[in-house]
Amino acid sequence: MSETSVIDAVREIVAEAVALDIDEVEADATLFGEVGAESIDLLDILFRIERRLGVKITTNELSERIQGGIPDEQFGTDDGLVSDVGLAQLEKVMPQIDTAELSGKLPAEDVMNLFTVRNLADLVSPHVGAAS
């Protein structure tokens, strides 16, 4: 499956899960902001990805992939912000973010608000071929 096909499949899955038309789900739209997904929708999206694409990703695995195995105390600061180490990891998973702008300002609890449909497709894509 090509990268474009995976993105289109994930867009379609997201649209179905949140009851939107696929044209309303842009690849670069944030899942929780622009698309309007809620945490329960994320579970539905991950289930639909497994069913349609054969790729199983749990919410724990998603969190681990986003955090890149960096321990919590290194990923975040004592005051609940994402550290520079954490931002460097996030930039790998979410290349659209502006780490300079977010440095010292991004609450750890807001990380998923930056996560886009494309970011999800990028996490799924390497596993699609392996799953078939």
**24-48 pLDDT tens trace:** 999 999 999 999 999 999 999 999 9
pTM above 0.85, yes or no: yes
Residues listed for the chain = 132
Cα–Cα distance for residue pair 125/119, rounded to 1 Å: 10
Residue 2: pLDDT band by 50, 70, 90 thresholds?
confident
pLDDT for res 74: 96
Distance CA 8, CA 118 (A): 9
Q: What is the pLDDT of residues 57-111, one digit of tens each?
A: 999 999 999 999 999 999 999 999 999 999 999 999 999 999 999 999 999 999 9
Measured distance CA(1)–CA(89) in Å, rounded: 27
